[in-house]
Chain A
Amino acid sequence: MNLIKEHQFLQAGVKTRRHFLETCTTGLGALAFSMIGCQNQKSDSLTQASMHSGLSNVGHYMARAKRVIYLHMAGSPSQLELFDYKPTLQRLHDQPCPESLLEGKKFAFISGTPKMLGHQAEFKQHGHSGAWVSNHLPHFSSVVDDVCFLKAMHTDEFNHAPAQLLLHTGSPRLGRPSIGSWLTYGLGSESEDLPGFVVLVSGGKTPSAGKSVWGSGFLPSIYQGVQCRSQGDPVLFISDPEGMDRSLRGKTIEAINKINQREFESVGDPEILTRISQYEMAYKMQISVPDVMDINAEPEYIHQLYGTEPGKASFANNCLLARRMAEKGVRFIQLFHWGWDSHGAGESEALNHGFLDRCKEVDQPMSALIQDLKQRGLLEDTLVVWGGEFGRTPMMENRGGITNPFVGRDHHTDAFTMWMAGGGIKPGITHGETDEIGYYGIKDQVHVHDLQATILHALGIDHEKLTYPFQGRDFRLTDVSGNIIKEILV
């Protein structure tokens, strides 16, 4: 294997117009010289990146968590019906919203002067920590002492797709690697026969931003999230076709890999190595994935705890699968549950109908997930994150200036609630506070970039140091922002 040639090949692949323009400014001699310089730069990280194990496998500092289970509530649940209790808002119910709150604001649907909307829920304090949780999450109320609430989250984007991209890839536009890809790129996988980054989707739809929210962007494609389905074949085409048995499959892959190996020896493209290891992984996954995805073997009391029904595509099943994958060492397990976009324009997305169904779908499983991880000692080094891509307005949505047929709230970027639990996060605390109607964060605000920086930190990674050269500059998940939320770290 010719290492130098390999690097030159890789570097040539990332040379761009930007490099050319940059070098043109100092003349062609300098251009030639700088090409030589560029060829050596960053070569280490690039060769290693092409190996399956990730960058170096060793974090910048001591990790508090080894893996992440990210529960994304696609469409964004209303924090004002679940966690952010505001008696003042309740008092102002049905009053017209003052102009001062609307000036210079952009909403997805609200126009004219909307009315304030009081809580469509009953609130109570729970646990030793006294966290406020509404009656829509009765199971979750019993685990609040294991959870850290982030009540003053804010984001920059008020539409689903860009907000989801910003949350998961650090940029509202397409093309960046997702947080799970960054983590598997930085730390590798702990599992030898499962992918390091697995995605499970429920609620009947993938998130608005599509599969880009678990894409690998400009990182090598081995780091992208692998979507597993809880119905049918867990991964498409994982079963051997009729007439082909496992040993024949094994021989086929062996033969293909031999040819690929020869090709690599003559051309030196490291992407060929990637392909070889992917074939091997796929072969292993034919056994390991159906095994981990089969929840029938779980005892009855576990099914009862999660409320799972084997064979169905549900959030409950996915939560149980998440735990099973965490046990197997999958680095980043991401669950998406669709249907939280409670505008009130139709019954399925009304705070008094569809929203309540969503609450029922997630309440028991997500609480069971925390309890089950805890009793197995996994919560110690598993970071659980829950939340939507933004929040919802304290005003009732009036699409096009007309009152909606059902009760609902519009998209809101300035304040929403998320929660984290487990690995390295202080349990039983609430960080951040919103104003008396839950419109803006007034204390300890957390931007989505700060959340990303904190998740990486919990996994032992310095978000400013985990970079990848692309289009002539080093990119990172948090780009030029992100502060670690030190207050919530153990």
Chain B
Amino acid sequence: MEILDWFGRFHPAFVHFPIGLLIGAVLFHWISIRRPTWKGSAVVSTLYLFGFVTSGLAAFAGWMLAKEGGYDMETIFRHRWLGILMVLISLALWRMTRLGDLNNRGPKWLSLALVFGLLITGHLGGEMTHGEDYLVESAPEFIKKLASYQEGMKYAVLDDPDSAIVYDDIIKPILQRKCWTCHSNSITKGGLNMEDLDLFLEGGKNGKVIEANAEASELYKRITMDPERRKFMPPKGTALSYQEVALVGWWLDQGAPTDKSVTTVESPPTIQSILMGRHKLDTKPKSHIEKTKVDPVSEDVMQKILAEGFAIKQIAMNTNFVDVKWKDIDTLDVNERIKILSAVADQIAWLDLGSSNLSDAALSTVGGMNNLVRLRIENNPITDNGIKELVNLKHLESLNLYNSKISDLCAPDLSQLRSLKKLFIWQTDFSEEGIAQLKTAVPDVEVIGGYTFNTPQSSD
């Protein structure tokens, strides 16, 4: 039935006749009601008849055209059935007005419904050919506001690369926009359903479309081949942009994972910049402080802590975490005053209590600082017992214990600090074997002992 498919292409040409004719019919209809002397009833009913015939043709052509696919399913559904409703209404109006009863309640209301119906149907049709934003895009500001239209907000803003799923949040929306019109639960051209994940992975009637390598994937071949070729996808509408092709290719190269987050797959610099530009997604690994949000420390609490002999300062303008340092005022004892820091236990990220004569007991307060990242407690009489208080600091990255009384015995406790990256144990009671054992127990931690003067080897 190629001829019928071809006929479908005449839909845009036909569709304007019934719109014009029927609006004309309604116009004459109302003039004739107001001016009965015109005696226009014959014209009105004839126009309704013409409208009915041409709208019927347009609807038929439209039906054929829709079979080609490539349109948004929901819009086409509404456009199709509204269109057919218009055909039926024009038929009814012709029947009703044929005998000259223009002024009855039925035809009067029906004619108004017809005008509204035509406007809506026509708009839906236009939306499909020109795109949804066509009308609003260049409208004056106040219209844009009314339509709550925002430029450049076409893509979802993703905040956290840890929780953004590559397929669900980045790839699926692309496929939905560009492929699902023909490959969905309702239409499966070429036997391919891309909406249902299992069926998508299974492929179409010619086999799999996805491989763990972009170049080998039918999907990727189809979206990157010469657009003039018949096999190029999508056959209609806007092709995938460079960025979209790059993202799909990246996803395929990563093995087409369906549940992995952005941080668990590798992303080359080009992809990183695309993700940044398109989704505002910063893929750079973020530290604990950058990822975590805490309430600000009130000015009141800041002043109290200052009064106790600590310097306290916000780490940066864009975070509420604070940096706290013992000011080392001779007359004050840190061990008596450290309790005040419990008030900001969540907000302390960096703490410096070096050379303060800090005791083991005082470390229990430190042990409750959940977000502590950097801790300096060097030059203090701290023993292995004190370290036991620190084992729950799960975000601690750097721990400075140089010149304290700790020994090999605290190694098991130190090994429990799972975020630890740097450990300073110069001038402690650690034995050389103890340090060696510790290094093997926590291979990811840089254990820093001390340096002594060495006569350099002559390189000559």
- Measured CB to CB, the residues of A under 8 A from B are 57-63, 122, 124, 135, 138-139, 141-142, 190, 192, 301, 304-305, 368, 371-372, 374-377, 380, 460
Check if B232 is an interface residue, CB within 8 A of chain A: no
Say yes or no: A59 contacts B316, CB within 8 Å: yes
Contact of B426 among A59, A142, A304, A376 (CB under 8 A): A376
Tell whether, in the assembled complex, residue B452 and residue A305 are in contact, meaning their CB atoms are under 8 Å apart. Answer: yes
Distance (whole angstroms) from the CB of A291 to the closest CB of chain B: 13
Cβ contact within 8 Å between B454 and A57:
no
Nearest to B458 among chain A residues (CB) is A138
Chain A CB within 8 A of B422 CB: yes
Which residue numbers of B lie inside 8 Å of A, CB to CB? 287, 289-290, 311, 313-319, 325, 327, 374, 376, 378, 398, 400, 402, 422, 424, 426, 448-454, 456-460
Q: Determine the distance from Cα of A458 to Cα of B353 in the docked complex, in whole angstroms.
A: 23
Of B287, B314, B459, the contact of A122 (CB 8 Å cutoff): B459
Cβ contacts A to B, 19 pairs, < 8 Å: A58-B314, A58-B316, A59-B315, A59-B316, A60-B317, A61-B318, A62-B287, A63-B315, A135-B458, A192-B327, A305-B451, A305-B452, A375-B449, A375-B451, A376-B378, A376-B426, A377-B376, A377-B424, A380-B374
| Nearest-neighbor residue (CB-CB) of B454 within chain A | A142
A314–B317 CA distance with the chains assembled, in angstroms: 40
- Whether A138 lies near B314 (C-beta < 8 A) is no
A375 to B451, alpha carbons, bound, how many Å? 7
State how many angstroms separate the Cβ of A58 from the closest Cβ of chain B.
Answer: 5
List of A residues within 8 angstroms of B456 by Cβ: 138-139, 141-142
Contact A375 B400 (CB under 8 A): no
Q: State the majority secondary structure of interface residues on B.
A: loop
Q: How far is the CA of A411 from the CA of B456 in the complex (A)?
A: 31
- CB of A375 within 8 A of CB of B424, answer yes
Q: Which residues of A contact B402 (CB under 8 A)?
A: 375-377
Task: State how many angstroms separate the Cβ of A403 from the closest Cβ of chain B.
Answer: 27
Q: Are B453 and A301 in contact (CB under 8 A)?
A: yes
Contact of A304 among B289, B319, B453 (CB under 8 A): B453
Q: A56's closest neighbor in chain B, by CB?
A: B317
CB neighbours (8 Å) of A63 from chain B are: 315-316
| 7 more A-B residue pairs beyond the given contacts A62-B319, A142-B454, A376-B400, with a C-beta to C-beta distance below 8 A | A61-B316, A62-B289, A62-B316, A375-B448, A375-B449, A375-B451, A377-B376
> Complex: how many Å from CA A124 to CA B460?
10
Q: CA of A380 to CA of B398 in the docked complex: distance in angstroms?
A: 9
Q: Considering the complex, give the chain B residue whose CB is closest to the CB of A462.
A: B317
**List of 3 A-B pairs having minimum Cβ-Cβ separation, nearest first:** A138-B456, A377-B400, A371-B451
Q: For residue B327, which residues in chain A have a CB less than 8 angstroms away from its CB? A: 192
CA distance A59 to B316 in the complex (A): 5
**What residues of chain A lie closer than 8 Å to B398, measured between beta carbons?**
377, 380
Question: Are A62 and B290 closer than 8 Å at their CB atoms?
Answer: yes
Q: Are A372 and B451 in contact (CB under 8 A)?
A: yes
List the A residue with the shortest CB-CB distance to B376: A377
CB distance from A467 to the nearest CB of B (A): 16
Q: Are A377 and B378 in contact (CB under 8 A)?
A: yes
Which of A62, A124, A380 sits near B459, CB closer than 8 Å? A124
- Determine the chain B residues whose CB is within 8 A of the CB of A460 once the complex forms: 316
Task: Report A307 CB to chain B, min CB distance, Å.
Answer: 8
CB pair B454 A301 closer than 8 Å = no
Distance of A1 Cα from B328 Cα, bound (Å): 32
Nearest A residue to B426 by beta-carbon distance? Answer: A375
**A59 to B314 Cα, complex, angstroms:** 9
